[in-house]
Amino acid sequence: MKKISVKEFFQTKKIDFSLSLITRPTTLDKDITSEYLNRPGLAFSGFFERFSYQRIQVLGETEITYLQSLKDEELYNIIKEVFVYDIPCLIITKGLSIPSQMEFLANEMNIAILSSRISTDKLYQQLRKYLSDYFAPSKTIHGTLVDVYGVGILLTGKSGIGKSECALDLVERGQRLVTDDAVKITVIDEMLMGTSTNDYGHFMEVRGVGLIDAAKMFGIQAVRRNKRMDVQIELMPWKDNMDYERLGLSDNFAEILGVRIPIIYLPVSPGKNVSVIIEVVALNYILKRYGYDAAYEYTQKLQEDLKKKSSVKNSEHAK
Amino acid sequence: MIRKRIVIVNKLGMHARPATLVVKTATKYRSEFTILKDDMEINGKSIMGVMTLAAEFGSELELVADGVDEEYLIKEMEELFASKFGEE
């Protein structure tokens, strides 16, 4: 399971979430293992059933005001009771000041308290976004990702089939390269987002030439950093007896990290202009999204035609 | 070269699904395959061609196969048309 230490979280996100550390640095050694947040109001009032202690605990004005309303002894006891749980860290919003007992007990019981200057609502949203991205399922696959007329197309297929050459050709035609050879895929909001595995830039290997920098060579308009993947196209060597799609009435799907996207098996043979076909795939995908399915329209027309002709025949027989 | 006259016996005629079956069957063979209807002559291995015929129920087609495996192609085609493409 994925995790991030409170220390790493604090150091990398200090500025984004305008965080500062209230407790001693030694309290930072726990791990965050959940992408969710918790408001521990009920726990502080003594209700511990279903207390999601393993999440980051966010305390806003409500919680702090409540705690300040308690008598010293009551306050001490309830905080101690809450801190017995293995909490990764607490975040106080709006830069509110906390009761001194709380700071004391947190240091004693080794729980980090961070303070953020952001308001509870805003912090909650930003933190949830950050955590869900961080904990999102991801994997890296062999392939090339291009943006063709705004449609994210993942090109896959065996080494040497011509994915990079195809991407180059598409870039020449005004399309945009996201990444070549290795695509890092992350699931965000049930969609597959693809990006490069590193941030070196848009380098690619062209067989027989070596490495090239697509952004330098074709300009900044020829590249982009990340893209939602809409369609997978598997390039494969042409085989005579293979059952290729002829009408396109039925869609095949590929499943990546539990998300289904349409997949097209595209036969490649020498002299065939694959880039044009890929552009056609992208445009047809857009048309389908707008509710126009060429295969369906054509076959509907054919069916009506056949019906009309056979009914004319039947009425002739009747005479 | 083999020529064979055939009548469409399924009620819906040769719509998209049967046309796909015809093309898929024909492409398994090496022989040239042509279908004739009225004044039309089309390549039986092309889906658009076969659908262009708009061959309705009761209409008559002429199948022409030419090549090393022509007999087998025609035989399987006959069976396919006779089976009404698995329809009524």
pLDDT in tens, B13-64: 999 999 999 999 999 999 999 999 999 999 999 998 999 999 999 999 999 9
* C-alpha span between B59 and B55 (Å, rounded): 6
Average pLDDT, chain A: 92
Task: Show which of residues 12-51 on chain B sit within 8 Å of chain A, judged by CB atoms.
Answer: 12-16, 20, 23-24, 27-28, 47, 51
Distance of alpha carbon A309 from the chain centroid: 52
Instruction: Please name the residue that has the structure tokens 């809450």.
Output: A82
Q: What angle do CA B70, B76, B81 make, to 5 degrees?
A: 120
Look at residue A319 in the predicted model and tell me its pLDDT: 58
ipTM for the assembly: 0.80
What is the set of domains in chain A, with CATH numbers? 4-134 (3.40.1390.20), 138-297 (3.40.50.300)
- Closest approach of B25 to chain A, Cα-based (Å): 10
Selecting from B13, B24, B51 the residue whose C-beta is nearest the C-beta of A310 gives: B13
Contacts of A271 (CB under 8 A, 6+ apart): none
Residue of A nearest to B20 (CA): A246
Average pLDDT estimate for A148-164: 94
Question: Confidence class of residue A318 from pLDDT cuts 50, 70 and 90?
Answer: low
Q: What tokens were used for A220?
A: 């900044």
- Bridge partners, residue A183, by sequence: A141
**Cα–Cα distance list, B50 to A247, A296, B5, B22, B84 (Å):** 12, 16, 16, 8, 16
Q: What CATH superfamily is the domain B2-86? A: HPr-like (3.30.1340.10)
Look at residue A168 in the predicted model and tell me its pLDDT: 94
Domain ranges of chain B: 2-86
Selecting from B16, B27, B56 the residue whose C-beta is nearest the C-beta of A309 gives: B56
The structure's pTM equals: 0.76
The answer to whether the CB of A43 falls within 8 A of the CB of A122 is: no
